[in-house]
Each structure stands twice: as C-alpha cells, then as structure tokens.
Amino acid sequence: MEFAPTASLALIERRAAALATVRAFFAQRGVLEIDAPALINAPVSDVNLHSAEVRLGGATGETPGDVRHVETPLYLHTSPEYVMKRLLAAGASDIYFLGHVFRGAERGRAHNPEFTLIEWYRCGVSIDALMDEVAALVQALSGGEAASRPIEQLTYREAFLREAGFDPLEVPRSDLERAAQRLGLDAARIAVSTRDDLLDLVMGAEIGPRLGRGRLTFVRAYPASQAALAQLDPADPRVALRFELYAEGLELANGFQELADASEQRARFEADLRERDRRGLPTGPLDERLLAALAAGLPDCAGVAVGFDRVLMLATGAASIDAVLPFPTERA
C-alpha cells in the first residue's frame, strides 16, 4: 500500500514514547526546550553538508490590482546550531532542541534527507561531562540490553592506529592515497581530494563501521583541520575539542567544546567557502548574525547533536532508518 507508513504502528508508538523520554530527560535536568526556525537566511558552509534551498513565491501590493511577484531565497536548516548560539549569546542558559532538520544529497540505509535531531548546549561544562550526558540519554532511549552497553573512549589517533594501522596526524599523503585506492576510490578522485577527504573516507568506510560493537564508543580529539565550530585543544593544538559517538558501526552524535572567537570562526567559514568554490559546490552568505553573537560574547559551553532516528534504530534493532520513520522522503 503506497499510502501506508514504512514504520509499523508498534514502532510509531515506540517512537512517540522515545520523544516523550527525551523531553522528560531534559526536564529532569532543568534544560529548556527551544523552538528554532526551519527556514533560515544563510546556508551552512561546511563542505560535507548541503543546505536545501527554498524559494518562497509571493505577491505584495497595497491593492489587489497592485501585485508584484517576489521570490526570497531561503534555506532549510541542517541544524539549529547557529540559532541556538544566538540564544546563548542573548542570555539563555542550558537549552535543547528536538525537531526536524534537512540535509541534501543524503539518502541511504541510515540517511533520510529529513530527520529528527536532538541538539543541546550546556554552559560551564566540559566535553567530558557532555559525553557522560550523551551516554545517559542514549541508554535511557535504548532500554533492554542496549541500555547496559559498556562505554569506550578513544582518541581519533587511537582509532586509526587500532583499526587502520597508521597515525592520521603523521601519515604521509602517499600512504593515505594507497588506503583510499584500496577502498575503491579511483585515481582521478584521489588526485583532487584533500587530506581530510581521504581521512574521512577511511573513517567512514573502514573504521567507523567497526566501532561501537556491543558498546558505546566515543572518538575524541579530531584533527584541527576538522574542528568545524570547536575549540582547538590548548594542550595539543593539532587536535580539536570535538567528539563523535558510534554504536554498532553507526555515528550517533557529534559534539564540540564550542568556539567563541568570532574572528577565528569567520576565518574558518571563509576557508569553507573557498573550498566549496574549488569543488564547484554552491555557496551562500555567511551567517553574520551568528558571527555578531560570537562577537557579543558566547558563554563557555559545550554542545552536541544526536541523531534521534539512529538511536531509535539502535534501540529497536532496525536495519534501516525507513523502519523507524512513518514517512521517509519518497512517501512524504
């Protein structure tokens, strides 16, 4: 039946219970739920993310006969991060978001272009404390045996040494190219790939699928070149104060000790735009409101985004994200 949901009714009920669990989890901790606009004025600059563009056709005029059609280019948010940081800079304290976000060019067993994200920010805490809270939420949502999974922490370097046999911070590019070729990337693609592209391939195709087997595996201390919106580690500026969480080979979360330096963030955004231009990817305006918020003063905080649908896959043993979504994009 083409009109029917891809998730069973029992799983739809489980999904509703899980959403309630998320809200109860944060209510017990005094974290405020916020609402964020899905339509925003500036797209994400990250070369690995793709903002869906929306054009709102409309009419303006003082009288029915005075009509001018206008189109306003907007973007569907890939995350509420920028808006949430603006709230923090405006005086909000611990906050969370639970809702839909959108990412273009993503569809697969664990990807749907529209999905549910849990994102939250804790003021005055370290990413170590945030990782503990992420683990507690995932366990609360998992139930049964999945709730008692042991927790493992690895640095990005340790994960590569253990699973791929080389140090990602020191490996020569020639060795990275051979690893990429072994994983099926052709010579032409290798030639135009950056060092981080090749590291991402190894992480995504070889290392990530092996992580979190029977446990929750946190990978921390990503290379500084992959810091995104995270601070660099003052003890080792080669790496960022950033972590990801894996379970059963799936990435579930991405967290940062948040960068509060507006000048540094602007420089990173501009570097992103240059790289997008080099790759022939669309570019848009920088989010000047976010940069103004950072300049005004972002409180010391750590933040994380967790894929709700993927956690539900883990909790229910679903093999595909379609099994936990009432209506994936093709049936929406």
Mean pLDDT in each 10-residue stretch from start to end of the chain (332 residues)? 90 97 98 97 94 79 58 90 98 98 88 97 97 97 80 98 97 96 95 96 97 97 97 97 97 98 98 95 95 98 98 95 95 90
Q: Kindly report the CATH number assigned to the domain that includes residue 30.
A: 3.30.930.10
pLDDT in tens, 117-133: 999 999 999 999 999 99
Question: What is the pLDDT, as a whole number, of residue 292?
Answer: 98
Kindly give the interhelix angle for 262-279 and 288-297, rounded to the nearest 10 degrees: 160
**CB-based burial, 68-82: b 16+ in 10 Å, e otherwise:** eeeeeebbbbbbbbb
- Domain presence at residue 1: no
The pTM assigned to this predicted structure is 0.94
- Domain presence at residue 209: no
- Domain presence at residue 57: yes
Question: What is the pLDDT, as a whole number, of residue 106?
Answer: 74
- Domain presence at residue 138: yes
DSSP-derived 3-state class of residue 304: strand
Q: In total, how many domains does the chain have?
A: 1
- Domain presence at residue 159: no
DSSP 66-83: --EEEEEEEEE-S-SHHH
Task: Tell me if 316 sits within 8 A of 14, measured CB to CB.
Answer: yes
Tell me which H or E stretch contains 57: strand 53-60
- Domain presence at residue 288: yes
Question: What is the pLDDT, as a whole number, of residue 1?
Answer: 74
- Domain presence at residue 206: no
Question: What is the pLDDT, as a whole number, of residue 59?
Answer: 57
Query: By C-alpha distance, which of 229, 214, 230, 177 is closest to 199?
Result: 177
DSSP-derived 3-state class of residue 8: coil
Question: What is the pLDDT, as a whole number, of residue 56?
Answer: 83
| Domain assignment of residue 271, given as a range | 9-150+214-331
Question: What is the pLDDT, as a whole number, of residue 65?
Answer: 59
- Domain presence at residue 229: yes
φ and ψ at 225, to 5 degrees?
-70, -15
Written as one letter, the residue type at 194 is T
